[in-house]
A and B are shown apart, each in its own frame.
Chain A
């Protein structure tokens, strides 16, 4: 009996591991292979190897422009969540345990409501005859109302709202590990609040900034619901194009190639970002 229990009970991990390997790793490998197949006429693809999907996607200036917009929206979302998330995270990390529980509920509850419902909430607020425009017209601020959605602005409001909690959780994790004594010590030695923040708190929180930005960027460049509902098919991004190519045009190899290009482009951005971040960390450390 003893001998058996000391053996590794590998059967415990097999179901989960098999699930991930068969229904996650293999499909992605298959997607990669698919991107080198010919688009089919009757079937969604023909198993003939070709580079045509990549050459046609990379030779299309429209697709380049859409990719550029996708990355730009991802970058802006990351920037805004960082700027808005930092004060929230700082406040959360320094709150007493009773207040913290309440703040966490406020912070997490948007995460727990589906993205479609939250986008609908923004539609009610931002639509041409929505609440904000009705207020604006009521007070005579802009007689024709403001164009707040079905453009990049609306999409950005939605993505910033959806990904802000992720950024705050990443940042507050790092901020929590900085002992408040460090800040107090620098203050008692004569540093102003701003000096203490820039010289002590911010540099020590960089790992959180790093992780949060990475997470939000990756999530934002691949968001689908928000560009559709708040962009109203006027703000086409690469994920929209991928789904359109796969479902409406029924061209699976083409869609696979577009998806691979989006992954490659985000990886390139992340690589660049690693380089910049390394330099920033070196510059800030004494």
Chain B
């Protein structure tokens, strides 16, 4: 009995350590952003907001921050509409068409950096130019759309169509039936997909690396360019703002639809 309790305690200690490992670098970014010195050392050197001031006063960082926000918002609007529409069709009219389903989620299966390279070369071939805003936007939409498709498809899969048919037989038009019956029921999946899409675009690295150029630099690329050559704690302030935005979006989702829907949707 005692040995069993000991084994259980050891197991829980291991689990705790593993969660610490998962969370540590994120907590460290927040701590480093408030640190007075360039490096986080022990004993600590005191608190300061100087890295936030540096972030606010840095033109490139602020510009790319707002650029990334706008790009992610536009990407999310497009992916939510076309991803939801595709899920509606696939689940209702082509449920057994595995090839179609696999094709629609294919951008998740291949590495982003290779997709990025393929797109760069392709844009050149069709005369879109290497680094246009449109090209960058299309790249983001391609890799974010599958998330919306998956989460909406997961919700639709268990949707009872007789509800919609009842509304139709009671005289509702197809648009009314969709707006009043279907949409409220699949809302959770749509919101979860939009959230995934926004975060994936806002944090997108490989697609932006090769497709963003002068004037279209996203925040992750800006941070990466700083960190590639030197260790700059301004990145910690940027990272903390980034983490707070993500946290806000996630808490909002949890309130609206619950996180299980993200989890279930993401793994189907």
Q: Which residues from chain A sit less than 8 Å from chain B, CB to CB?
A: 5, 8-10, 12-13, 15-17, 19-21, 23-28, 30-31, 34, 44, 84, 87-88, 91, 101, 103-110, 112-125, 127, 129-131, 134-135, 138, 161, 164-165, 169-170, 173, 193, 218-219, 221-225, 228-229, 239, 242-243, 246-247, 252, 255-256, 259, 262-263
Inter-chain CA distance A34–B239, complex, in Å, is 38
Chain B residues 84-122 with CB under 8 Å of chain A are 85-86, 88-90, 93-94, 100, 103-104, 106-107, 109-115, 117-122
**Residues of chain B contacted by A44 (CB below 8 angstroms):** 121, 124
Q: Looking at the complex, which one of A24, A130, A193 makes contact with B115 (CB distance below 8 Å)?
A: A24
**A-B pairs with beta carbons under 8 Å apart, 14 shown:** A16-B149, A17-B86, A19-B82, A31-B122, A91-B15, A109-B246, A113-B203, A114-B242, A118-B29, A120-B235, A169-B266, A239-B114, A242-B117, A259-B117
**Residues of chain B contacted by A242 (CB below 8 angstroms):** 113-114, 117
Counting CB contacts under 8 A, is B22 at the interface? yes
Whether A120 and B239, one on each chain, are in contact in the complex, defined by CB atoms closer than 8 angstroms, is yes
| Least CB distance, B31 to chain A, in whole angstroms | 8
| Closest partner residue, chain A, to B263 (CB atom) | A104
**Residues of chain A contacted by B39 (CB below 8 angstroms):** 124, 127, 129-130, 134
Inter-chain CA distance A10–B122, complex, in Å, is 27
| Least CB distance, B123 to chain A, in whole angstroms | 8
Inter-chain CA distance A223–B32, complex, in Å, is 25
Counting CB contacts under 8 A, is B66 at the interface? no
**Residues of chain A contacted by B82 (CB below 8 angstroms):** 15-16, 19
Whether A134 and B41, one on each chain, are in contact in the complex, defined by CB atoms closer than 8 angstroms, is yes
Chain B interface category by residue count:
35 or more
Other A-B pairs, 18, CB within 8 Å; known A12-B86, A113-B203, A117-B242? A13-B85, A19-B141, A23-B139, A31-B114, A101-B259, A110-B25, A112-B199, A112-B246, A116-B220, A117-B243, A120-B235, A121-B25, A161-B21, A222-B113, A223-B111, A224-B205, A242-B114, A259-B114
| Closest partner residue, chain A, to B225 (CB atom) | A116
Inter-chain CA distance A135–B106, complex, in Å, is 45
Whether A121 and B24, one on each chain, are in contact in the complex, defined by CB atoms closer than 8 angstroms, is yes
Inter-chain CA distance A15–B195, complex, in Å, is 21
Whether B86 and A109, one on each chain, are in contact in the complex, defined by CB atoms closer than 8 angstroms, is no
**Residues of chain B contacted by A108 (CB below 8 angstroms):** 250, 259, 262-263
Whether B120 and A30, one on each chain, are in contact in the complex, defined by CB atoms closer than 8 angstroms, is no
If A17-B103, A23-B138, A129-B39 touch, whether A87 touches B18 (CB-CB below 8 Å) is yes
Counting CB contacts under 8 A, is B23 at the interface? yes
Counting CB contacts under 8 A, is B255 at the interface? no
Whether B242 and A113, one on each chain, are in contact in the complex, defined by CB atoms closer than 8 angstroms, is yes
Whether B18 and A131, one on each chain, are in contact in the complex, defined by CB atoms closer than 8 angstroms, is no
Whether B250 and A112, one on each chain, are in contact in the complex, defined by CB atoms closer than 8 angstroms, is yes
**Residues of chain B contacted by A124 (CB below 8 angstroms):** 25, 28-29, 32, 39-40, 236
Inter-chain CA distance A266–B223, complex, in Å, is 30
| Least CB distance, B176 to chain A, in whole angstroms | 13
Inter-chain CA distance A223–B111, complex, in Å, is 8
If A16-B104, A17-B86 touch, whether A121 touches B111 (CB-CB below 8 Å) is no
Inter-chain CA distance A88–B228, complex, in Å, is 33
Whether A20 and B106, one on each chain, are in contact in the complex, defined by CB atoms closer than 8 angstroms, is yes
If A120-B236, A169-B263 touch, whether A225 touches B205 (CB-CB below 8 Å) is yes
9 closest A-B pairs by CB: A121-B25, A222-B111, A114-B203, A16-B86, A27-B122, A27-B118, A117-B239, A13-B89, A12-B89
If A116-B205, A255-B117 touch, whether A15 touches B267 (CB-CB below 8 Å) is no
| Closest partner residue, chain B, to A118 (CB atom) | B25
**Residues of chain B contacted by A247 (CB below 8 angstroms):** 210
| Closest partner residue, chain B, to A229 (CB atom) | B227
Inter-chain CA distance A161–B23, complex, in Å, is 9
| Closest partner residue, chain A, to B107 (CB atom) | A24
**Residues of chain A contacted by B205 (CB below 8 angstroms):** 114-116, 224-225
Whether A105 and B28, one on each chain, are in contact in the complex, defined by CB atoms closer than 8 angstroms, is no
Whether B22 and A110, one on each chain, are in contact in the complex, defined by CB atoms closer than 8 angstroms, is yes
Q: Looking at the complex, which one of B22, B90, B266 makes contact with A161 (CB distance below 8 Å)?
A: B22
**Residues of chain A contacted by B254 (CB below 8 angstroms):** 105
If A15-B85, A121-B28, A165-B22 touch, whether A30 touches B121 (CB-CB below 8 Å) is yes
Whether A17 and B124, one on each chain, are in contact in the complex, defined by CB atoms closer than 8 angstroms, is no
Whether A121 and B86, one on each chain, are in contact in the complex, defined by CB atoms closer than 8 angstroms, is no
**Residues of chain A contacted by B113 (CB below 8 angstroms):** 222, 224, 239, 242-243
Whether B174 and A5, one on each chain, are in contact in the complex, defined by CB atoms closer than 8 angstroms, is yes
| Closest partner residue, chain A, to B11 (CB atom) | A87
Whether A224 and B206, one on each chain, are in contact in the complex, defined by CB atoms closer than 8 angstroms, is yes
Whether B121 and A19, one on each chain, are in contact in the complex, defined by CB atoms closer than 8 angstroms, is no
Inter-chain CA distance A242–B115, complex, in Å, is 12
Inter-chain CA distance A104–B265, complex, in Å, is 13
| Least CB distance, B19 to chain A, in whole angstroms | 5
Inter-chain CA distance A203–B122, complex, in Å, is 45
Whether A161 and B121, one on each chain, are in contact in the complex, defined by CB atoms closer than 8 angstroms, is no
**Residues of chain B contacted by A239 (CB below 8 angstroms):** 111, 113-114
| Least CB distance, B132 to chain A, in whole angstroms | 13
Q: Looking at the complex, which one of B42, B168, B260 makes contact with A101 (CB distance below 8 Å)?
A: B260
